[in-house]
Amino acid sequence: MQPITIMESDVDFMHELSMAKNIIDKAQKVLKEHNAQKALAIYVKIGELSSVEKESLEFCYGVLIKGMQEFKECQLIIEQVKWVVRCNECESIYNPNEHLLRCPQCQSQDYILVSGNELDFVGMEVE
Amino acid sequence: MKIQIEEKILSENDKLALENRKLLAQHKVYSFNIISSPGSGKTSILETFLTELPKHHRVFVLIGDVQTENDAMRIIKAGYKARQIITGGACHLTAKVIGRHLNELDLHELDMLVIENVGNLVCPAAYDLGEDDKVVVLSVTEGEDKPLKYPSIFSKASLMLLHKIDLLPYLKFDKQKAIECAKALNPHLHIIETSCFSGQGFKEFIAWISSRLQEKRARVKNKGD
């Protein structure tokens, strides 16, 4: 039996490029919904755990908006969010990366996530 | 004019993943998504897993690769149903792609859908496909600090296979440290040591998957009633 092979032609390429494409798709939808002519800024939040590189995302965004008149003046504003957890034993707030994954106060490894997982489209400025 | 949106960047993918999840639940199909770096042993794991899985389970395997249909051929040669998805450069599968395949499969004739993702620990962690469990593979030929380098996938997985464990005597791999790193990221992560060479761990792997399948059936049944 031969495998049935499907070539996917419309899938997204690479991590930051696919994120940038998702951001622009969303922004285009927002422009349309608000009957706006052009975008001035797009605000996103990227958490430390999301494995998205700020510089790569900016680069990919810049490549994708080339030739798109409505995004000509639009800045992509990226807020980077640190990985922060709260210790379930002593309630200390800390970044596990800076403390080798243990609570700096009580050495516990039992925590809940406070931030760091963000991949959020926060909003836009349009005209 | 400022507009507040507050949505996930991947909300479109998440919506399609939810549709996939509903469709699989409707047909009582349990699904897991196996994720690792290239060369960790995903396809070999699936070959051994399928060979040792009790034959009454009806399984279909979707395999994502950047190029070639070699991996699907391996699964088909072992006597199982599989389909290759060639992503042509993309380093991950998306819910949209999986959804298209789900619509073409006879889901009512299946108990289990196995998705082998493209070898990569970054992007597959961000794209929900609608699966029930993510299974991450860390082989002992890699670094023991990999969970710390790729925290997202290790914190989202339900099961980790610590693979090629038979090679441990020949390597400097610090097994305890690898387990500690993974557990620190995800205290609920279940870890099984496996080897395709010796067969170690596969009974436990199959028992774990079977119990997840039974749990899903019970959950779907309760909801359905």
**Contact with chain B for residue A88, Cβ under 8 A:** no
Contact: B9, A5; criterion CB under 8 Å: no
Nearest to B131 by CA among B56, B21, B42: B21
Residue B8 has its nearest CB partner, among A7, A51, A120, at A120
Within a domain: A9: no
Q: How many separate domains does chain B show? A: 1
Question: pTM for the whole thing?
Answer: 0.90
Q: What is the pLDDT of residues B27-62, one digit of tens each?
A: 999 999 999 999 999 999 999 999 999 999 999 999
Residue A50 has its nearest CB partner, among B69, B83, B152, at B152
Q: Which phi and psi (to 5°) does residue B217 adopt?
A: -60, -45
* Test the B interface: residue of A4, A25, A88 with most B CBs within 10 Å: A4
C-alpha distances out from residue B190 to A91, B197, B204, Å: 26, 22, 11
Within a domain: B121: yes
List chain B residues with pLDDT less than 50.
225
Within a domain: B5: no
Within a domain: A35: yes
Residue B184 has its nearest CB partner, among A11, A109, A124, at A109
- The CATH number linked to A76 is 3.30.2320.50
C-alpha distances out from residue A116 to A78, B115, B166, Å: 14, 27, 36
Report how many Cβ contacts below 8 Å link chain A to chain B. 130
Residue B32 CA to its chain's centroid (Å):
5
**Contact with chain B for residue A127, Cβ under 8 A:** yes
The DSSP bridge pattern shows strands B59-65 and B159-163 to be unpaired
Within a domain: A39: yes
Within a domain: A73: yes
Contact: B83, A3; criterion CB under 8 Å: yes
- The CATH number linked to B95 is 3.40.50.300
pLDDT at A100: 74
- The whole domain housing B65 covers 11-214
CB B60 within 8 A of CB B82: yes
Q: For each successive 10 residues of chain A (127 residues), what is the average pLDDT?
A: 57 76 96 96 95 93 95 97 94 88 89 93 97
Contact: A4, B84; criterion CB under 8 Å: yes
Structure token digits, residue B140:
């002992």
- The whole domain housing A48 covers 15-82+116-126
Within a domain: A101: no
Contact: B9, A123; criterion CB under 8 Å: no
**Contact with chain B for residue A108, Cβ under 8 A:** no
Residues of A in contact with B122 (CB under 8 A): 15, 51
Within a domain: B202: yes
Within a domain: A96: no
pLDDT at A3: 62
